[in-house]
Amino acid sequence: MKRREATQLLLASAVASRASLASAAPSVSASLPDVAVVGAGSFGAWTAHALRRQGHRVTLIDAYGPGNSRATSGDESRIIRMSYGSKGVYTGWAKESLVEWQRLSERSRQPVFENTGALAIGARGGEYLLSSEKFMRQEGIRFEWLDHAEIARRYPQFGLAPEEIGLYEPDSGALRARRGIQLLVAELQASGTAYRNERIRPPAPGAGRLDAIVTESGEKISAGAYVFACGPWLARLFPDLLGGALRTPRAEVYYFGSAAGDPQFKAGHFPAWFDVASPSMDAYGVPDLDERGMKIGTDAYDEPTDPDAQERTPTPKYLEATRAYMKKRFPRFAGAPVLEARVCQYENTPTENYLLDRHPRIDNLWLAGGGSGHGFKNGPAVGRYVADLLRGEQANPLFTFAALHAPAKA
Ligand SMILES: Cc1cc2nc3c(=O)[nH]c(=O)nc-3n(C[C@H](O)[C@H](O)[C@H](O)COP(=O)(O)OP(=O)(O)OC[C@H]3O[C@@H](n4cnc5c(N)ncnc54)[C@H](O)[C@@H]3O)c2cc1C
């Protein structure tokens, strides 16, 4: 985003109250290294935010722009939920992150976070729901168990089998994804973070320290430290480290329209939801925000794709898979028309844990990626964690290169 565009966004959205900008702009410390953060998706933008808060001078660089339509953070919405099955570390991170998304909403006076509630649907006694309960209890997160009859009473939109129940989080909901990232980057720019719209070339696979990164046009950008938060592009930038370990399957999500005057799928009438009735997550959805329609995504896709060049045109076979799912879960809605669709891609690690680690051979370079279909919400905690790593704090083994292929134990 050019500085002028950023300023316009700030003005248009009434973000720039003097007080909020002052609080977002701590003074830069001469003793801390300048940091270049490559990638302005959820991981990179929040890393820039955390580094800036700690007093670093930061340059944020993105090839296509914050929240662009190729980026994994570029859709209209993402769910923020605290239930994470046995991966309890993310329950804590989601709790921490929710506060930051709420603060961004308050500072920008824009509803980046929409408190729709979040409902996990699964089989009674299922391991995912029980583990989620355990970790939410530990974190002091509010939740309610809803039995089949109670879900049918509150949300008759769902078609459920008698043995299916729900774990409801009243304080969770949905994030306006693209908008949130653009507001955050605009805020960063307004508070002194430099932003560049450039593509960075893959760093030479040497060892020691990196002196500079190089733009596609050949310009060098020097900093004391570098963070590459390039989502599905990371494997191309670091093929020696990540080739084969980071998969980028294509995904399609659809926005379906209700009948005229029918509010049943709008925020306030319907929660963000995800379906864990089968061992892996089957599908998830976001209520109708901003009159775009109710969003549904299913996790049935596995074709690797090219985030630069893939056509973002929805394909019949994915729509058929989504409609087949709707017949089961939303029988009365199964014929609803598609209003919009987004074609995206994941950046999955084998363990579905994030990769947040120092480059094994380059001392002043860190990688942040591997969001694995659940990273957006946790951008604020990821940013804080990466900034702590740069300060020398100890790494959690879960997010290291060494753990990329290890069995998940979060
Ligand atoms: C269909 C789908 C549904 C999802 N649902 C959810 C959800 O409900 N909740 C949730 O929390 N998460 C969800 N996720 C996951 C989440 O969206 C991602 O984990 C997260 O957005 C990843 O953010 P990122 O910053 O790592 O990557 P990205 O958002 O892809 O950002 C990377 C950025 O790097 C830039 N870049 C790349 N290469 C270069 C280069 N060489 N030079 C400069 N810039 C470069 C790109 O332009 C891009 O802007 C979902 C993902 C998908 C695909």
Selected residue with higher pLDDT from 358 and 243: 358
Selected residue with higher pLDDT from 140 and 22: 140
pLDDT at 12 over 50: no
| Alpha carbon distance 213, 289 (integer Å) | 40
Q: Which of 230, 236, 308 to mutate to test the pocket of ligand 1 (most atoms within 8 A of CB)?
A: 230
User: Cα-flanking dihedrals φ and ψ of residue 24, to 5°?
Assistant: -90, 0
Name, in order, each residue with C-beta under 8 angstroms of 324's C-beta and a sequence gap of 6 or more. none
pLDDT at 11 over 50: no
Q: Which atom of ligand 1 approaches the CA of 198 most closely?
A: 43
- pLDDT in the model for residue 16: 41
pLDDT at 34 over 80: yes
Q: Is 203 in the pocket of ligand 1 (CB under 6 A)?
A: no
- pLDDT in the model for residue 15: 42
How much of the chain exceeds pLDDT 70, in percent?
Answer: 91
pLDDT tens digit sequence for 310-323: 999 999 989 998 99
| Alpha carbon distance 386, 44 (integer Å) | 10
Q: Is 196 in the pocket of ligand 1 (CB under 6 A)?
A: no
Q: Is 72 in the pocket of ligand 1 (CB under 6 A)?
A: yes
CA of 127 to the centre of ligand 1 (A): 29
CA of 232 to the centre of ligand 1 (A): 7
Name, in order, each residue with C-beta under 8 angstroms of 98's C-beta and a sequence gap of 6 or more. 80, 82, 113, 171, 172, 377
Q: Which of 43, 72, 306 to mutate to test the pocket of ligand 1 (most atoms within 8 A of CB)?
A: 72
CA of 131 to the centre of ligand 1 (A): 27
For atom 27 of ligand 1, which residue has the closest CA?
A: 231
pLDDT at 175 over 60: yes
Measure the CA angle with vertex 91, ends 87 and 96; round to 5°: 145
**Which of 5-19, 115-129, 335-349 is predicted with the least confidence, judged by mean pLDDT?**
5-19
- pLDDT in the model for residue 22: 40
Amino acid making up residue 202? P
Q: Which of 1, 37, 42 to mutate to test the pocket of ligand 1 (most atoms within 8 A of CB)?
A: 42
Q: Which atom of ligand 1 approaches the CA of 344 most closely?
A: 53
- Domain map (residue ranges) of the chain: 3-72+178-246+350-403, 118-170+249-345
Confidence band, pLDDT 50/70/90 cuts, at residue 1: low
For atom 50 of ligand 1, which residue has the closest CA?
A: 373
Helical axes 177-190 vs 42-53, angle rounded to 10°:
30
CATH number for the region 3-72+178-246+350-403 comes to 3.50.50.60
Per-residue pLDDT averaged across 188-216, rounded? 95
pLDDT at 9 over 90: no
pLDDT at 18 over 60: no
- pLDDT in the model for residue 5: 54
pLDDT tens digit sequence for 263-319: 999 999 999 999 998 765 589 999 999 999 999 998 776 788 999 999 999 999 899
pLDDT at 395 over 70: yes
Q: Which of 73, 80, 116 to mutate to test the pocket of ligand 1 (most atoms within 8 A of CB)?
A: 73
For atom 3 of ligand 1, which residue has the closest CA?
A: 373
Give me 183's structure tokens: 């507001």
Q: Classify domain 118-170+249-345 by CATH architecture.
A: 2-Layer Sandwich (3.30)
- pLDDT in the model for residue 51: 98
- pLDDT in the model for residue 10: 47
**Which of 207-221, 246-260, 273-287, 351-365 is predicted with the least confidence, judged by mean pLDDT?**
273-287
Confidence band, pLDDT 50/70/90 cuts, at residue 2: low
